[in-house]
Amino acid sequence: MSEVEGQQHPISVYFWVWGLLFVFSAGSYAVDYMALQGNLRWTLILVFMFLKSGFIIAIFMHMVWERLAMVAAILVPMGCLLVFIGLMALEGDYTNLTRDTFFSPAPFVPVEHAVQH
């Protein structure tokens, strides 16, 4: 039974992915080392992050070789997180707006109708 349930993959697959993970890690560190800013920085961070996590899940955790029943049971529930992230980002922006409006030190406004003595 254990012979049936085990998986056999050529060792080169592991070495390739291992090497790629090093390249992606170096890439994401280079983003900070070269002090890239703005949209380019955020895009590159996300690209390297998804590449790394994708290869780890797919190859090292053997997800590409699992049956769809298993893959779906693990990956589909994570979709809830996208909704959660979206909701919290929306509400976060609103909270930030109200804090800026009501809790930041009031700018100095000259009083126009001050009583003259």
Partner 1 sequence: MSEVVENEKTGALAGMAADWSSDQRAFKGVPWHKAMMWVFLLSDTFIFACFLISYMKVRITTTVPWPSSSEVFALTINGHHIPLLLIAIMTFILITSSGTMAMAVRFGYQKNKKMTGLLLVFTALLGASFVGMQAFEWSKLIFEEGVRPWGNPMGAEQFGAVFFMVTGFHGFHVSVGVIFLIITAVKVLRGSYDNETPGFMTGRKGNYEIVESMGLYWHFVDLVWVFIFAFFYLW
Enumerate binding residues for partner 1 (CB under 8 A): 1-2, 4-9, 11, 14, 17-18, 21-22, 25, 28-29, 31-33, 35, 41-42, 45-46, 48-49, 52-53, 56-57, 59-62, 66-70, 72-74, 77-78, 81, 84-85, 88-89, 91-93, 95-96, 99-100, 103-104
Q: Select 106 or 115, whichever has its Cβ closest to partner 1.
A: 106
Cα separations (Å) of 74 from 8, 70, 80? 22, 7, 12
Burial class (CB in 10 A: 0-12, 13-18, 19+), 9: exposed
